[in-house]
């Protein structure tokens, strides 16, 4: 049904969108009791939000059967992303032996984000005033409401959450020669990695991927192994390479700098007992790409653009959650070359 809006003298523009199941999402500016006061979740109550939502709908009436979810923000997510982007690079420069060039990437990556945020803010200000943003038009087959919906719920939300932020190609966001950038390789290096559900070996407890990727300053190496029966030799070869003198794992800090997650499509109760999984995994964790033991297989592979029928891929996720590199499992030694670009 799309997004609708109510114009209110006190609140300006309030937007609402009917959802599946009979619920409705409402977005409105929060007014503080004191002029110049600071918006903080600690001074917001559910009761005050409901009251303000009703006032923002005037002259129409708004009634609540139940409140399923709410949040309030003032743009802090982007500030945290700025800080995190710089912090992990300083950490790797000071403690891990990264080249000074890594510090220059902060300006390269975040300046364009700041410029885009300013542009989005200017557009939203114009929309709130019921005006078309300068130097733009609604375009063919578009409407004011559609453009407002895109600016607020799509563009602004994507930037606030980070999913709409993409960094340009550099030595930190690098494409493998054998895997040119394209639509089929989403997410690409420079984009934020998505979450997913996995079963952790050997007990197969259901767990979120992000819960296994704490942002503590280390790189996460996601080894999408596909079918173990097909790719077991490549996995063994990669695991053996990790402990060679040329491998990034040995050269740059082992488990203090990296966390490796092996993610397979093969349920462990279907694994051939002759496959020496525990032998070559060592202390590294193994996960099954399934939401539950009898659920759909391969969702996480697909979210990361990995062919479930293919030979497997390795995805390098930076300490801030953005993809840095991806390569076919058979070409695992190219990961060493990726880190050599910015490590001493």
Q: What is the pLDDT, as a whole number, of residue 198?
A: 93
Distance from C-alpha of 84 to C-alpha of 49, rounded to nearest angstrom: 31
Q: In 10 A of CB 111, how many CB atoms?
A: 10
The residue ranking higher by pLDDT, 281 or 36, is 281
The residue ranking higher by pLDDT, 325 or 177, is 325
Q: At 118, give phi and psi (nearest 5°).
A: -60, -40
Give the pLDDT mean for 308-325: 95
Q: Are 188 and 323 in contact (CB under 8 A)?
A: yes
Sheet holding 205-208, edge to edge: 174-175, 323-328, 313-317, 219-226, 258-264, 285-288, 197-200, 205-208
Q: What percent of the chain has pLDDT over 70?
A: 77
Q: Is the pLDDT of residue 37 over 50?
A: no
The residue ranking higher by pLDDT, 236 or 173, is 173
Distance from C-alpha of 261 to C-alpha of 82, rounded to nearest angstrom: 27
164-208 residue pLDDT tens: 789 999 999 998 876 645 445 679 999 999 988 899 987 888 888
Parallel, antiparallel, or unpaired: how do β-strands 24-27 and 12-18 relate? antiparallel
pLDDT band at 36 (very low <50, low <70, confident <90, very high): very low
Average pLDDT of the residues of the chain:
82
The residue ranking higher by pLDDT, 29 or 265, is 265
Kindly list the distances between the CA atom of residue 259 and the CA atoms of 179, 207, 218, in Å, as whole numbers in the listed order. 23, 16, 7
Any idea of the CA torsion for 142, 57, 47, 25, to the nearest 10 degrees?
-20
pLDDT band at 61 (very low <50, low <70, confident <90, very high): very high
Q: Are 327 and 314 in contact (CB under 8 A)?
A: yes
Least confident of 23-27, 121-125, 271-275: 271-275
Angle (nearest 5°) at CA 120 between 118 and 125: 95
Sheet holding 4-8, edge to edge: 4-8, 12-18, 24-27
Q: What is the pLDDT, as a whole number, of residue 74?
A: 57
Q: At 230, give phi and psi (nearest 5°).
A: -85, -35
């Amino acid at each position: 049904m799309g997004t609708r809006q109510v114009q209110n003298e006190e609140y300006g523009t309030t937007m609402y969108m009917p959802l599946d199941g009979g619920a409705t999402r409402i977005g409105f500016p929060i007014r503080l009791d004191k002029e110049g006061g600071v918006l903080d979740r600690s001074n917001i109550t559910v009761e005050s939000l409901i009251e303000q939502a009703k006032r923002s709908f005037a002259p129409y009436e708004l009634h609540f059967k139940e409140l399923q979810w709410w949040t309030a923000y003032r743009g802090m997510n982007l500030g945290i992303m700025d800080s995190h982007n710089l912090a992990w690079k300083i950490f790797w420069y000071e403690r891990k032996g990264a080249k000074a060039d890594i510090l220059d990437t902060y300006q390269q990556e975040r300046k364009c984000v700041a410029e885009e945020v300013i542009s989005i803010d200017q557009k939203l200000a114009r929309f709130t005033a019921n005006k078309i943003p300068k130097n733009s038009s609604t375009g063919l087959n578009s409407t004011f409401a559609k453009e407002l919906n895109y600016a607020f719920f799509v563009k602004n939300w994507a930037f606030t959450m980070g999913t709409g932020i993409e960094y340009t190609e550099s030595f930190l966001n690098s494409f493998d020669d054998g895997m040119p950038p394209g639509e089929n390789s989403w997410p690409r290096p420079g984009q934020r990695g998505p979450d997913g559900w996995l079963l952790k070996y050997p007990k197969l407890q259901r767990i979120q991927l992000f819960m296994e990727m704490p942002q503590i300053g280390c790189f996460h190496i996601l080894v999408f192994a596909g079918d173990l029966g097909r790719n077991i030799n490549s996995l063994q070869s990669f695991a053996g390479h990790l402990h060679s003198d040329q491998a990034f794992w040995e050269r740059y800090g082992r488990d203090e700098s990296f966390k490796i997650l092996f993610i397979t499509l093969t349920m462990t109760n279907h694994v051939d007992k002759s496959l020496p999984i525990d032998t070559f995994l060592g202390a590294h964790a193994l996960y099954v790409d399934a939401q539950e033991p009898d659920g759909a297989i391969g969702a996480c592979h697909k979210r990361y653009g990995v062919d479930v029928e293919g030979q497997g891929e390795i995805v390098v996720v930076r300490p801030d959650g953005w993809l840095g590199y991806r390569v076919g499992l058979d070409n695992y030694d190219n990961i060493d070359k990726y880190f050599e670009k910015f490590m001493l």
